[in-house]
Structure 1
């Protein structure tokens, strides 16, 4: 039977004290040891197959080294992978494990899941939503360090992180304006959500900054489905003086605009340029020509949520922040100069 390697074995093999090994392998105390010694101790520990006893460590510093992430539906969405990967990467880098639960929009299940996370004595909880909207903090979360991921609330004592929706609208409009378009329409989501309001605000602000405006007939708000967006785009692109470009609330709605253009005998981007939001690969890369889009920062939001949560775990007086992360454009082939 293989004998489990302990910290004394590592210290002996490395030729240093047990205290030095403890500090070198600790995220919290590593700075007390010079970088060369840290690297040497880590190399020896890896070679011996040493795994720190996190439970014992947690008992000493009153930390479990585990974080919880409670989601509604994000594990079932195409964006979940990036958001969870960002959170997982940040947690791992900081020496933490991430425990993920998913309620499927079942409030009672969510309450049970939160209670279960607390029973595991997680050091803090990330409350994540499928899309950016305002939420009420479940009572079960009160009293625990929490961060809202892709959501906001009315409580300024709770930190949150969401995409810069206004910035996404600005970026979409600027991409089309830079290509020379002056008659630019928008296919928006008709839901009363921050993304719809923010992207419209940014879109109109960018137009105004360039002395442009969106003609009322060139603006349509529909459900966020491909079919309804297609019908909206058909209406706009059938006008005698149609827009030469469309900014769409999301990539799946942009796909509807592609379909409308094809039905009307219009070519993308020769006759109409189209920009979406999401950078949903299966759509943006799958369309032909490829869809230029504004990427939502799911990975970056996941990382930010973990790092901010741990900051507040370590320092309960840390400032609470309502972070908005920028949304960069991803250029493909759906945008060209009008009449190109």
Structure 2
């Protein structure tokens, strides 16, 4: 049975370079202060490369108190198909700043979350990004007390930590303005939560919708507001009901892309065309949905990567007082919006 090859040691690097271990340590840690000649430094680095020597990062962190690692604790971000962009943005920004991400999805299990926090503290992470798959208010675990922490895609309900989250209100306003700018006056909204829901997304998007109507001089009509849970089925049901009104809307702002998908299906089943008979704007820009609808869905893109980058920057360069940082998404224009057209046929009830 073959024995596992041992990693090269600092002593072997010193022997190969013809210097002392102390000199190798000075070169590898960039603390020689000019005491080591350039030719000697080059010999040490050449020996390191030839032997494949790697420094013991864990031992180094014990000496310096810094590991170069940033913890990333989330519920289901790493395993979610679109929210995974949060982790991507964090990894890229961490790498640019000379750090790496240590990531754990907890799936809402408190025991796993506690174990993850304990593990990250043992690795002496520089701080923790506490992220969620969807925008919500959260309470940061007590076990993170004393650990620099920034909340991502959520808001810290205590206000003790900086939070970075999507600007839902601005997104709702931009989505609705895409319809008013096309000339629509009768614009419905299918929201993704009930009026009683405490979640920030639906409430903010509805406020933005109302602001855009007001700015365009369009009266708010409660009868054009419908509520669902963000599913395709809710979009199908509510768009059918809206299209069956005596005076149906010429445009619908859907609170997310899945709802918009359902609205497409409803209108097509009624023999109506998107966008000729009814323009539609969504929210999220889910890559598996929005570009593949026919016609392509105009939608607000959630700024996952930008939010993650800002969260890393806040963690590495903290402000004197915690900050709440809303990040604006952008309108992705496709083919689901056009000017309103007069309908020549009745819509079946």
Q: TM-score, normalised by structure 1?
A: 0.84
**Quick one: which of 145, 153, 158 aligns to 1:155?**
158
Deviation per CA, 1:98-153: give whole Å up to 9, x if none: 11111111122222222222222222111111111111121111121111011112
**Quick one: which of 100, 106, 126 aligns to 1:97?**
100
Indicate if the aligned counterparts of 2:58 and 2:123 stay in contact, CA closer than 8 A. Answer: no
Cα distance, 1:269 vs structure 2: 0.6
- C-alpha distance in structure 1 between counterparts of 2:326 and 2:258, whole Å: 23
1:45–1:187 distance in 2 versus 1, CA, 3 Å: farther
Cα distance, 1:44 vs structure 2: 8.6
1:8–1:139 distance in 2 versus 1, CA, 3 Å: farther
- C-alpha distance in structure 1 between counterparts of 2:304 and 2:26, whole Å: 40
Determine if the alignment matches structure 1 residue 318 to structure 2 residue 320.
yes
SS at match of 1:76: coil
**Quick one: which of 307, 314, 334 aligns to 2:336?**
334
Determine if the alignment matches structure 1 residue 195 to structure 2 residue 198.
no
Pairing 1:77-226 to 2, within 5 Å after superposition: 77-191=80-194, 192=197, 193-226=199-232
Cα distance, 1:85 vs structure 2: 0.5
1:46–1:173 distance in 2 versus 1, CA, 3 Å: farther
Please tell me the root mean square deviation across aligned C-alpha atoms, in Å. Answer: 3.0
- C-alpha distance in structure 1 between counterparts of 2:189 and 2:295, whole Å: 20
**Quick one: which of 275, 286, 304 aligns to 1:280?**
286
- C-alpha distance in structure 2 between counterparts of 1:286 and 1:185, whole Å: 23
Indicate if the aligned counterparts of 1:82 and 1:298 stay in contact, CA closer than 8 A. Answer: yes
1:21–1:202 distance in 2 versus 1, CA, 3 Å: same
1:53–1:228 distance in 2 versus 1, CA, 3 Å: same
- C-alpha distance in structure 1 between counterparts of 2:55 and 2:218, whole Å: 61
Cα distance, 1:214 vs structure 2: 3.2
Pairing 1:46-85 to 2, within 5 Å after superposition: 54-55=57-58, 57-85=60-88
Indicate if the aligned counterparts of 1:125 and 1:146 stay in contact, CA closer than 8 A. Answer: yes
Deviation per CA, 1:250-286: give whole Å up to 9, x if none: 0000001101111111100111000000000111011
Query: Residue 254 of structure 2 aligns with which residue?
Result: 248
SS at match of 1:282: coil
Pair member with larger Rg:
2
Indicate if the aligned counterparts of 1:149 and 1:302 stay in contact, CA closer than 8 A. Answer: yes
SS at match of 1:309: helix
- C-alpha distance in structure 2 between counterparts of 1:142 and 1:121, whole Å: 14
Indicate if the aligned counterparts of 2:175 and 2:300 stay in contact, CA closer than 8 A. Answer: yes
Indicate if the aligned counterparts of 1:185 and 1:214 stay in contact, CA closer than 8 A. Answer: no
Indicate if the aligned counterparts of 1:7 and 1:21 stay in contact, CA closer than 8 A. Answer: no
Bigger helix share: 1
Count of matched residue positions in the alignment of Structure 1 and Structure 2: 318
- C-alpha distance in structure 1 between counterparts of 2:325 and 2:14, whole Å: 41
- C-alpha distance in structure 1 between counterparts of 2:181 and 2:311, whole Å: 34
Query: Residue 35 of structure 1 aligns with which residue?
Result: none
